[in-house]
Structure 1
Amino acid sequence: MNGAVFALAVVALLGLIYWETAGYMARQLNQIVVEHAEALEGGGPEHLPDRIRQAVAADARHIEYYGLFSQDGVWIAGNIHALPAGLPMDGNPRQIHVHGLQPGARALVTQTPWGETLFVGHDALVLSGLRAILINALAISGAAILLLGLAAAAALSVPPLRRIENLREASRAALEGQIGVRLPVSRRRDEIDMLAGLANAMMDESERLLWEVKSVGENVAHDLRTPLNRLRALLYRVRQETRLEGAEREMIDQALAETDDLLVRFRALQRIGEIERRDRQAFFEQVRLQQVLDDVIELHEPLAEDRGVSLERDIQADVPTVSADPTLLFEAVSNLVDNALKFTPRGGRVRLRLVAREQGPRIEVLDNGPGVPEGERDAVLQRFYRAQRTRTEPGSGLGLSIVTAIARLHHFTLSLDDAKPGLRVALDCWPRGLGA
């Protein structure tokens, strides 16, 4: 782009040079024509024809044109035997277009004091030559400058483009959840480095705040587990060793249940922290998803039977393996099935599907329970959020958060959709950005 702008600027400069030069030469030709006419008239009428013949004879380059005509238009002398049509008889030089003359030729027609008509012209041979030289120079230099400018611009743009590509790669890694990645900064300290430095500073501050928030939750969960376990043990001891009956015993039982619920939540928070801190590739291997889903169904079949819910399977046999942590993948699918069984009413059904799509394998868990409203589907993936329809059900609101953390660790995509009726939860087992 810069090379093209530079080339256009040079072309415009050459055009301006040609325009000014052509204007200067035209003014010079006008002056020559006027001076010749004045010189011919200044010698008087007696020998004017002879002076015209002498001027024609002295023109070795054949660029001077003269014509003398009587009052009734009869030719008297000169190498012009007829006046050009449309040329005013006002004595002012102007451009003429006559066959045989170069473009830009100048001439004037004037009436002498004794009544005769005098024509004086000058061919633009020099101006035509200059025009050809300038046009050739314009074409050659313009093409050369355009090619050289584009080549130089391409050569100069390669390092910045390479640096921008490095920035894109680093930014993509940051978007994929690699918190410690930073944008590369060179020693040039130019505008790109300034922007990269600002972005790195923002990422530093974001990472600091993120770890502060995470550490607060994890530390609270860790620090409170011990006193909660002691509290539960104390409540259980009171329940076992006392003879409380009626309302007092119900309060003890309720306190034990609330303590157990708190412990479940703290364990889930610690589990999410463990997943997020885990080395992304440390436990990855090629995993057969069919085997993972078979294990999940085997684990949950007794629970489904106890709840009066039909647990169905629809597992495609030729699904390719994926690179994943099998333990975490089993935990994610198990949480999804457990959620579906929890919210599906007795007599309902939960179906576990495995299908091969063009981008990769997809795991789906479908139920015909109350589902999740469209406006809450993103919110239920957040920690502690409970959908309005299911807030009366037991749970911590962290099951889907654990699944989200596992999906993020693998760069998989977790999505919720309407099963009409019920809920469809899909886990796309291919890296984000590589599919539709």
Structure 2
Amino acid sequence: MRHFRFLQNTPLKLALIFSGLFLCASLVTGFSIYEIMRWEMMRHHSKAVGELYTSIAGNKADDDTDFLDTVQANIRAAHGHDRVILATKADGSILAGNIPRIDLPDGWSTIPAYKIGLHGRRKYLLMAGTVRGDRLIVGQSYQDIDKLEAIAAAGFGWTSLIVIVLAFIGGSLIGRRAQRRFRAVQDTMDRISKGDLAARLPLLGRGDDIDQLSAHINGALRQLEATVEGMRQVSADIAHDLKTPLNRLRITIDEARRELGHDDEASLAIAAAAAEIEQVNQTFDALLRISQLEAGTRRRRFKLLDLDAILRETADLYDGTLEEMQGSLSLDLKAQGCMIAGDRELLIQLWCNLIENAIRHGPAGTRMRITTSRSLDDLVVAMEDNGPGIPPEEREKVFRRLYRLERSRSTPGTGLGLSLVNAIAELHDAPIRLEDAEPGLRVVIRFPVARSDSVPDTSLREEAASER
């Protein structure tokens, strides 16, 4: 399908459409003019032959000598064999003429030159009849008509070519003009999707349908910006108003634990309450972090990164933990040198969440494997484990906030780990897919390989290279 992507180009499509329409119009118009012109020339040709026949036959009625003189005079006046005349007696003997004897029925006939003893490919329109017992054949070639038709065809061809070229150029200019406006709309929507809700569609002030549509969209964007900003403010207020008393409560509980000691039941109950408060704080932190990621503001911190180096660094963090639980994490990294545009801190958190999720829900001695590979313009990362996996009907649901599988409700967690993973992946324009590893779960993420313009500062390539 990549071979036909050029057909998706709006200027090219408009140019082709304009060219096709003008070509069809030219063909219809040209064919109509050609047929009318040809019919008129044939009518004029037939009239000339008929008038010549009548003129010669009229002299036969007056006198045989005048008849033959008229035949000879017309033969001498003819240019070559453009005009043919033959007069014969009833027995077939030739009285006068410039062609051999030929038998034709009375009336009109069209015959090629070779049938009347002439060379060439031209054809003749002949009229034959009997005049006072003698036969008279008068004719004229179609050579002049053929020349005019050739000239008309050449003129029509050149005219059609010029029309097509002008139509293609006009369609391209109109298409490019439209594409510039659509590209401006697309660029604005890209900025909005990356969290810049203050972006607006450009208005040219022409009052056309695109300007009217852009004005309506800008109005909706203003409302959206106000709504999102209000939600962010509410979230910040909630975080401030609720987290502050929760932190104070935890400090109070910690002081109570120190006063009571660590042995009695009251101290254990207070410790459990402190753990619950910590869980609530972590939930608030995760929810606020997800909201910030979905707003897209962290894109401004993107740099060129070597994802293989980040994966090796993340795996090193869990060497001790996996050794204690007799688990393993193997790496098969085959995309060295492939750079992506991203936030290093968030990418480390993404892989930490996936690894901890596999450890938390997997069996003792969990085995994990992470592979990287290059696929066209994507860097594909796949992580497999030997845990219980996720049923197919639940795989989309686990990315929801606070959603937990029924069998996981007895294990610690907030139900936000995979939600945060999904938010980080979306921030990096990296589709994420859950598959069956038979047994276990396979998480596949496709990161777009960074282009030269993926980040504002291309000098960050050196920084990324030093991190490797």
TM-score, structure 2 as length reference: 0.71
Give the Å deviation of 1:272: 2.0
How big is the alpha-carbon RMSD for the aligned residues of Structure 1 and Structure 2?
A: 4.4
1:289 pairs with one of 310, 316, 332: 310
Q: CA distance change for structure 1 residues 387 and 205 in 2, over 3 Å: closer, same or farther?
A: farther
The match for 1:88 is 105
The match for 1:37 is 53
The match for 2:351 is 333
**Residue pair 1:71, 1:117 contacting (<8 A) in 2 also:** yes
Q: CA distance change for structure 1 residues 48 and 234 in 2, over 3 Å: closer, same or farther?
A: farther
**Residue pair 2:71, 2:96 contacting (<8 A) in 1 also:** no
The match for 2:394 is 376
Q: How far apart, CA to CA, are the structure 1 residues paired with 2:323 and 2:218? A: 50
Matched, 1:386 2:407: no
SS at match of 1:416: strand
Give the Å deviation of 1:428: 4.8
Q: How far apart, CA to CA, are the structure 2 residues paired with 1:70 and 1:129? A: 36
Q: How far apart, CA to CA, are the structure 2 residues paired with 1:36 and 1:149? A: 48
Q: How far apart, CA to CA, are the structure 1 residues paired with 2:161 and 2:56? A: 48
Matched, 1:120 2:120: no
Q: How far apart, CA to CA, are the structure 2 residues paired with 1:180 and 1:22? A: 67
1:21 pairs with one of 37, 44, 50: 37
Give the Å deviation of 1:331: 2.5
Deviations 1:85-119 (A, max 9, x none): 5x431x3x35333344884632212233x443322
Q: CA distance change for structure 1 residues 94 and 172 in 2, over 3 Å: closer, same or farther?
A: farther
Give the Å deviation of 1:319: 4.3
Matched, 1:353 2:370: yes
2:420 pairs with one of 398, 402, 407: 402
**Residue pair 2:379, 2:449 contacting (<8 A) in 1 also:** no
Give the Å deviation of 1:349: 0.9
Name the amino acid aligned to 2:88.
F
Structure with a larger share of its residues in helix = 2
What percentage of aligned pairs have identical amino acids? 28
What pairs up with 1:202-281 in 2 under 5 angstroms? 219-226=237-244, 261-277=279-295, 278-281=297-300
Unaligned runs of 5+ in 1: 243-247
Name the amino acid aligned to 1:415.
R
Q: How far apart, CA to CA, are the structure 2 residues paired with 1:192 and 1:170? A: 14
1:60 pairs with one of 59, 71, 77: 77
**Residue pair 1:239, 1:252 contacting (<8 A) in 2 also:** yes
**Residue pair 1:52, 1:77 contacting (<8 A) in 2 also:** yes
Q: CA distance change for structure 1 residues 150 and 356 in 2, over 3 Å: closer, same or farther?
A: closer
SS at match of 2:313: helix
Give the Å deviation of 1:335: 2.1
The match for 1:342 is 360
Q: CA distance change for structure 1 residues 185 and 202 in 2, over 3 Å: closer, same or farther?
A: same
**Residue pair 2:384, 2:443 contacting (<8 A) in 1 also:** yes
The match for 1:74 is 93
SS at match of 1:96: strand
What pairs up with 1:293-304 in 2 under 5 angstroms? 293-294=314-315, 296-297=317-318, 301-302=320-321
Name the amino acid aligned to 1:95.
T
Q: How far apart, CA to CA, are the structure 2 residues paired with 1:412 and 1:124? A: 74
Q: CA distance change for structure 1 residues 16 and 42 in 2, over 3 Å: closer, same or farther?
A: same
Q: How far apart, CA to CA, are the structure 2 residues paired with 1:322 and 1:124? A: 75
Q: How far apart, CA to CA, are the structure 2 residues paired with 1:367 and 1:186? A: 55
Q: CA distance change for structure 1 residues 104 and 170 in 2, over 3 Å: closer, same or farther?
A: farther
SS at match of 2:160: helix
Number of residue equivalences: 420
Give the Å deviation of 1:54: 1.9
Give the Å deviation of 1:354: 5.8
Deviations 1:109-155 (A, max 9, x none): 2233x443322223334323422332332333334444444445445
Q: CA distance change for structure 1 residues 117 and 322 in 2, over 3 Å: closer, same or farther?
A: closer
The match for 2:26 is 10
Deviations 1:300-352 (A, max 9, x none): x45984xx46243437599457654333333322222222222123x231436
TM-score, structure 1 as length reference: 0.75
**Residue pair 1:170, 1:181 contacting (<8 A) in 2 also:** yes
Q: How far apart, CA to CA, are the structure 2 residues paired with 1:176 and 1:98? A: 80
Give the Å deviation of 1:372: 1.0
The match for 1:310 is 327
Give the Å deviation of 1:293: 1.1
Name the amino acid aligned to 1:9.
A
Name the amino acid aligned to 2:418.
L
Q: CA distance change for structure 1 residues 166 and 23 in 2, over 3 Å: closer, same or farther?
A: same
